[in-house]
Structure 1
Amino acid sequence: MAVLGALPADVECRPIREDDWEGVIDCLRRGFPTRSRDYWARALARQSRRPAVDDLPRYGIALAKAGQVVGVLLSLYTRYQGEGGDEIRCNLSSWSVDTEFRPYATKMIAMVLKRKDVTYVNISPAPSTVKLNKAFGFKLFSHGQFAFLPALNPVKGSWRVLEARADLFEMAMLSEAERYMLLEHAALGCLSLICIRDGAAFPLVLMRRRIVHHFIPSCQVVYCRSLSDLAECAGAVGRYLLRRGILLCAVDANEPVAGLVGHYFAKKGVKYFKGPKPPSLGDLTFTELVVFGP
């Protein structure tokens, strides 16, 4: 593991400030050269509009030498309201450290991981960081991806599929937390849906993506209450998506999903967590995928 001792006198590890943005973007561009400056500027701007959570870092952690940013770890904190009380989740993202300073890179992770009541997730681990994830106590919660063709599912019963809007009467069928989640994700460019049958409402959030050299339109499941609920409404959603030219969807899974027509890809899109409560499969809400974009 990298050095965890004291930093040199002219190197500091601290929360990112807004006046760091240019340096942060420069550092991220060095670490992720295929991502444009506009991409990272948009990512930070979107992060700035998310609600702050307690006194936790709003953007993440910077490693700086004599005021120049030489390392970055972005962190997206979200407070969730549940029946068992509030929980805080943090998506660790976009770890970039200049070569000379990589011996001190773990300082940034250690600084973030101080809160024992927070569940930390890494949804896009680089192969080179898997050992580091495990060294810090992260565990797998999603072992792969299930790609499915929802239009091939039968439609059982009479379904309605509606796009979520603040003035939609059917929004009252959902909890306050689910209404907030649907509207926030719609504002971030997701397809936020309410699937209704026999007086019951199922919330669903999809992120439009293009795969196979950005040619084939598809959707990633960002939120469903459960994989069984997803299978239940898949047929109706599939027909809704077909009218928009989308045939293929994908969802995090640990095995083939019962009731869905598709193929399971083991070790594809694996995801890690550390903390008191792993996210459920099919829950990527307020992560980098949504806030930063694919």
Structure 2
Amino acid sequence: MAVLGALPPDVLCRPIREADWEGVVDCLCRGFPERDRSYWTQALTRLSQRPAVADFPQYGLALEKAGRIVGVVLTLYTRYRGQEGDEIRCNLSSWSVDAESRPYGAKLVTTILKQRDVTYTNISPAPATLKANWALGFRPFSTGQFAFLPALNSVPRSYRVLEVRPDLAEMAMLPDSERYILSEHSALGCLSLICICDGVAFPFVLMPRRILRGLVPCYQVIYCRSLEDLSRCAGAMGRFLLRSGILLCVVDAKEPIAGLFGRYRHNSGLKYFKGPRPPSLGDLTFTELVVFGP
């Protein structure tokens, strides 16, 4: 049974500091033995390079017992600026607690979840934590994934697809918030594209991945304004992606997507949220998938 109240005198729940990195990496390696130390060191390094958001933790929270890190949850806070005002999201990631301290593990998450104006996401829940997710108030915003072949869509003559670069003049056709998303994700190794049709620019971010036990290369949709925009521009993007030899794309969905040729897999890649506003389908910006890597 998880303990949600006061912790024992020798157990402390506190923000992670840079001085904790070695102990945090040790704890994460114990919890996720399939990952090596370099993965977690890169994750913390990239978190240190992210802009601070208000007074929220830069890295996440740690459970400390007798001077030793025995539990960790990493947090990726991002401020989104939109027409309806600022929105803050927090992607919870890499919840790991040593076996002897698991009665206190829920304290890590409940401490973070106190801010009611923040939207929290969990995009890679372990099967064993699904009941805990529901108990904490998380609900799915994506119940499956849709794998599709964009090159099979037709391409209107007026469509153009451009890869984002710093001197690309067409970036001026997008609002500041989307220019920031495209440039930041390009720097993180994603493919940022602008599809232009009849004077209108549609932004997209795709992340290279390998699925089916690493045998099949594909692109994961990290950002699009809507699934309708994705369907509208799929043919043009598909022709563009053929240059790299990749035919397959994957996007989060709740059902098959009209206008796209592919297959919907229910209960694949479940993703959860808690808070005032769920992320839209096709929006995984600044989450662990991008910042830490698949």
CA contact (8 A) 1:194 1:203 kept: yes
Which stretch of the first structure deviates more once superposed, 182-191 or 152-161?
Answer: 152-161
Query: Is 1:92 aligned to residue 87 of structure 2?
Result: no
**Letter of the aligned partner of 1:155 in structure 2?**
V
Offset of 1:159 from its aligned partner? 1.4
CA contact (8 A) 1:157 1:197 kept: no
Offset of 1:4 from its aligned partner? 1.4
Q: Distance in 1 between matches of 2:124 and 2:95?
A: 10
CA contact (8 A) 1:4 1:107 kept: yes
Structure 1 unaligned residues grouped into runs of 5+: none
Q: How many residues align?
A: 294
**Letter of the aligned partner of 2:286 in structure 1?**
F
Q: Distance in 2 between matches of 1:237 and 1:26?
A: 42
Match of 1:69 in 2: 69
Q: Distance in 2 between matches of 1:67 and 1:91?
A: 27
If the length of structure 2 is used for normalisation, what is the TM-score? 0.99
Match of 1:287 in 2: 287
Q: Distance in 2 between matches of 1:157 and 1:103?
A: 61
CA contact (8 A) 1:217 1:245 kept: no
Q: Distance in 2 between matches of 1:234 and 1:36?
A: 36
Q: Distance in 1 between matches of 2:212 and 2:147?
A: 13
Query: Is 1:268 aligned to residue 268 of structure 2?
Result: yes
The alignment-based identity, stated in percent, is 70
Match of 1:140 in 2: 140
Q: Distance in 2 between matches of 1:42 and 1:132?
A: 28
Match of 1:103 in 2: 103
Which stretch of the first structure deviates more once superposed, 1-10 or 146-155?
Answer: 1-10
**Letter of the aligned partner of 2:272 in structure 1?**
Y
Offset of 1:157 from its aligned partner? 3.1
Q: Distance in 2 between matches of 1:174 and 1:243?
A: 25
Query: Is 1:204 aligned to residue 204 of structure 2?
Result: yes
Match of 2:6 in 1: 6
Offset of 1:213 from its aligned partner? 2.3
Query: Is 1:175 aligned to residue 175 of structure 2?
Result: yes
- SS of the residue corresponding to residue 244 of structure 2 reads coil
**Letter of the aligned partner of 1:159 in structure 2?**
Y
- SS of the residue corresponding to residue 286 of structure 2 reads coil
Q: Distance in 2 between matches of 1:94 and 1:61?
A: 11
Structure 2 unaligned residues grouped into runs of 5+: none
Q: Distance in 2 between matches of 1:175 and 1:6?
A: 46
Offset of 1:214 from its aligned partner? 1.4
Q: Distance in 1 between matches of 2:140 and 2:213?
A: 28
Q: Distance in 2 between matches of 1:265 and 1:212?
A: 13
State the superposition RMSD in angstroms: 0.7
- SS of the residue corresponding to residue 243 of structure 1 reads helix
CA contact (8 A) 1:59 1:75 kept: yes
Match of 1:186 in 2: 186
Match of 2:18 in 1: 18
Offset of 1:166 from its aligned partner? 2.0
